[in-house]
């Protein structure tokens, strides 16, 4: 680790320049392809090289725009040469085109966005022939019906908006269709789902909120004042939750796909600064963004060569999705968007203000994803107890994605992500286990409640617990595995949350005979030290307390980006249908005494370590 801080604009700019210079040795002769070291990604070397160009172009564009064209690194000349070669069909460095490979549609949006943002210093300086080739390269997206129904809608909007501004082809029908699709993904309290499924993750901030803000400032954007006001109001409300999802150490939540984009998680805070949101101050927005980038810099990203690799802190290839290549991590450039703002912008001149978890314990319910968010000031950890997110449709019987369907995520732990974790849920899961040791999945669960009352959070869900015989021929992009599913029982889970503790009540109904129910807690990485009711690793304690049962600890090797060894506490007991089973789960640096709990009829009574008593009504069994 290093003590380096990225707080001031000068420090941000120095980091950006180091990153841009570090990739130059990997550029092709005319700079059109930047193919970074490592095994090729799932889409091949040609796509890797395009990504390397387009995603570092984002960062170069932010630098040019923020300095109003001042360009000591000759960024405009360097990337202009790449644009000329990449769009030349006869060049050995020519780019994969959007009609040839879907990933080029993603990268085309970055090209269009920066060409618009840096128009006086880059686009206007290109000769007419290069401009025509750029327009031709981008134009194939017009009328294209091959875009997935998710954040990709913004890639076509951005490209066609730029094309419109330079006299190229565009389609009003495309824009109307895409904007309507965006609206269909809007959820409560400013949240969006990244698609039709319950897909709540970092894409909400670094895509579904970021692009509307940037699009509104593009030449050629055809948005009404009403739409812009609605977009800003949604972003403002979303940020009131998002600001609570950053740990005191700057770590974002380790949840959802594309985590290798790392400090792209800072993007929505800069979007809030650009949009001028009223509810989160410029100083707190910068605090969030700077803390996130500082966290990664201090943990070795970029690495000693100034490069971003596939991983979290250091390289860890299993974190990547099938679409990830060597250039993919440079979507982290989105998190450096603040550099496009001049030095006298309020987000740079305001004093930093602390994050919620840096001030006091913090507890909120987030309705759309079905999360109870609990931050503890003592250790700076933010935890999410999840009862509504699974990257699936309600009622589906697919496998659980470790990135979405676990009961808990935090800024200090990572879910197990080896192959077994996708097939057999273990950490932060309540499962039914058969005589062969096979575990059930809960994807498709129904959210029953999610609220905070009198400083205590309560969330509950019910699922058809199902085994999945996986079909290995089906590829997913962060979703759970699919195959043939068999329902073996119904699981109702209630979480009562206060501080670092969750009291977890579980009821099993309609179960096949001979099953056991297993509850597992937080996975902690580092050298494990087994405790009476859990384990300690890397300064974190993970506890799971169940009356009358011994807590066991499972060790997994090379299953987490946070360390070689990961330890998870767990307990199990034979299923007693219709009966509530209560455990207490904790993640903390300095855990307090565990709460005690009792069930009488439909009432769960919890007595916390400070003698405060909480009573809640349990859901009726089916």
For 169-188, the pLDDT digits (tens) are 999 999 999 999 999 999 99
pTM, two decimal places: 0.98
Give the mean pLDDT of 461-476.
Answer: 90
Domain at 359-617: CATH code? 2.70.98
Q: What is the pLDDT of residue 210?
A: 98
Give the mean pLDDT of 214-235.
95
Residues of the chain with CATH 2.70.98: 359-617
Cβ proximity of 57 and 110 under 8 Å:
yes
Predicted confidence (pLDDT) per residue in 308-320, tens digit: 999 999 999 999 8
SS3 502: strand
- For the residues 462-481, what does the mean pLDDT come to? 89
Confidence of residue 622 (pLDDT cuts 50, 70, 90): low
Angle at 618 between CA 615 and CA 622, to 5 degrees: 170
Range 92-112 average pLDDT: 97
> By 3-state DSSP, what share of the chain in percent is helix, strand and coil, each rounded to 5?
35, 25, 45
Q: What is the pLDDT of residue 145?
A: 93
Grade residue 476 by pLDDT with cuts at 50, 70 and 90.
Answer: confident
Looking at the DSSP bridge assignments, the partners of residue 493 are 461, 506
Tell me what the pLDDT averaged over the chain comes to.
Answer: 97
For the cut 70, the answer to whether the pLDDT of residue 120 exceeds it is: yes
Question: Is residue 113 within 8 Å of residue 59, measured between CB atoms?
Answer: no
pLDDT, residue 417, reads 97
Give the tokens for residue 256: 């959802």
Tell me the pLDDT tens digit for each residue of 562-575: 999 999 999 999 99
Mean pLDDT across the stretch 590-609?
A: 97
The residue written with tokens 């935890």 in the block is: 383
Give the pLDDT confidence of 493-504 residue by residue, as tens digits. 999 999 999 999
The pLDDT > 70 percentage for the chain reads: 100
Task: Please count the helices (runs of H) and the strands (runs of E) in the chain.
Answer: 15, 20
Residue pLDDT, tens place only, 508-535:
999 999 999 999 999 999 999 999 999 9
Mean pLDDT value of segment 319-334: 93
| N-terminal to C-terminal alpha carbon distance within the chain | 52
Rounded mean pLDDT, 420-446: 97
- What is residue 308's DSSP assignment? -
Given pLDDT bands bounded at 50, 70 and 90, which one contains residue 222?
confident
pLDDT tens digits for 147-163?
999 999 999 999 999 99
Confidence check: pLDDT of 217 > 70: yes
Give CA separation, 196 vs 145, 185, 186, 479, in Å.
17, 7, 10, 13
**Fold annotation for 9-352:** Glycosyltransferase (1.50.10)
Local structure of 415: helix, strand or coil: coil
Please say whether the dihedral angle defined by the alpha carbons of residues 187, 193, 199 and 203, taken in this order, is positive or negative. negative
The residue with tokens 């903390």 is: 588
Strand order in the sheet with 596-600: 596-600, 603-607, 613-617
CATH 1.50.10 segments of the chain: 9-352
Which pLDDT does position 620 carry in this prediction? 84
pLDDT at position 157, please? 98
Lowest mean pLDDT among 15-24, 312-321, 373-382, 468-477: 468-477
The pLDDT of residue 322 is: 81
Question: Residue 300: pLDDT above 90?
Answer: yes
Instruction: Give, to the nearest 10 degrees, the angle between helix 153-165 and helix 128-139.
Output: 150
Evaluate if residue 621 carries a pLDDT over 80.
no
State the pLDDT at residue 473: 79
């Amino acid at each position: 680790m290093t003590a380096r801080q990225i707080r001031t604009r000068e420090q941000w700019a120095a980091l950006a320049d180091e990153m841009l210079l570090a990739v130059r040795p990997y550029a092709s002769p005319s700079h059109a392809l930047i193919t970074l070291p490592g095994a090729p990604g799932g889409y091949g070397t040609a796509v890797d090289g395009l990504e390397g160009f387009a995603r570092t172009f984002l960062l170069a564009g932010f630098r040019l725009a923020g300095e109003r064209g001042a360009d000591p690194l000759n960024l405009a000349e360097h990337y202009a040469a790449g644009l000329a070669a990449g769009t030349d069909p006869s060049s050995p460095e020519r780019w994969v085109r959007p009609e040839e490979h879907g990933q080029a549609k993603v990268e085309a949006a970055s090209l269009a966005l920066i060409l618009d943002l840096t128009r006086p210093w880059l686009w206007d300086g290109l000769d007419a022939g290069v401009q025509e080739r750029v327009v031709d390269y981008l134009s194939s997206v017009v009328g294209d019906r091959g875009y997935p129904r998710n954040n990709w809608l913004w890639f076509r909007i951005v490209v066609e908006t730029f094309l419109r501004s330079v006299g190229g082809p565009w389609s009003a029908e495309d824009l109307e269709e895409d904007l309507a699709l965006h609206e269909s993904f809007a959820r409560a309290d400013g949240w969006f789902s990244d698609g039709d499924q319950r897909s709540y993750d970092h894409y909400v901030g670094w895509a579904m909120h970021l692009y509307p803000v940037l699009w509104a400032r593009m030449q050629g954007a055809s948005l009404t004042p009403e739409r812009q006001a609605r977009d800003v109001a949604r972003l403002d409300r979303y940020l009131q939750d998002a600001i609570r999802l950053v740990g005191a150490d700057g770590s974002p939540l380790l949840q959802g796909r594309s985590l290798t984009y790392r400090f792209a998680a800072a993007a929505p805070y800069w979007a809030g600064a650009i949009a001028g949101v009223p509810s989160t101050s410029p100083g707190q927005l910068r605090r969030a963004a700077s803390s996130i980038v500082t966290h990664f810099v201090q943990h070795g990203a970029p690495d000693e060569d100034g490069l971003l690799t596939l991983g979290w802190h250091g390289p860890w290839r299993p974190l990547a999705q099938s679409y990830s290549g060597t250039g993919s991590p440079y979507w982290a450039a989105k998190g450096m968007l603040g550099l496009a703002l001049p030095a006298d912008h309020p987000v740079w001149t305001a004093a930093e203000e602390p994050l919620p978890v840096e001030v006091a314990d913090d507890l909120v319910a987030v309705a759309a994803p079905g999360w109870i968010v609990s931050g503890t000031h003592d250790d700076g950890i933010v935890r999410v107890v999840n009862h509504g997110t699974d990257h699936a449709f309600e009622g589906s019987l697919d496998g659980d994605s470790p990135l979405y369907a676990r009961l808990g995520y935090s800024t200090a732990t990572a879910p197990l992500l080896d192959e077994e974790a996708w097939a057999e849920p273990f950490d932060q899961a309540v499962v039914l286990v058969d005589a062969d040791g096979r575990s059930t999945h809960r994807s498709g669960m129904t959210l029953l409640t999610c609220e905070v009352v009198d400083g205590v959070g309560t969330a509950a869900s019910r699922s058809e617990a199902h085994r999945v015989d996986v079909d290995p021929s089906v590829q997913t992009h962060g979703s759970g595995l699919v195959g043939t599913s068999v329902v073996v029982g119904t699981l109702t889970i209630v979480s009562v949350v206060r501080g670092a503790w969750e009291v977890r009540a579980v009821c099993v109904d309609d179960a096949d005979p001979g099953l056991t129910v297993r509850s597992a807690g937080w996975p902690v990485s580092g050298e494990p030290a087994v405790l009476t009711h859990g384990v300690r690793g890397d300064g974190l304690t993970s506890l799971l307390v169940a009356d009358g049962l011994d807590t066991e600890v499972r060790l997994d090797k090379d299953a987490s980006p946070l360390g070689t060894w990961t330890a998870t506490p767990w307990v199990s007991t034979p299923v007693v249908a219709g009966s509530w089973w209560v455990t207490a789960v904790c993640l903390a640096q300095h855990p307090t005494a565990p709460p005690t709990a009792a069930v009488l009829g439909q009432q769960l009574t919890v007595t916390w370590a400070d003698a405060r008593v909480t009573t809640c009504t349990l859901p009726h069994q089916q």
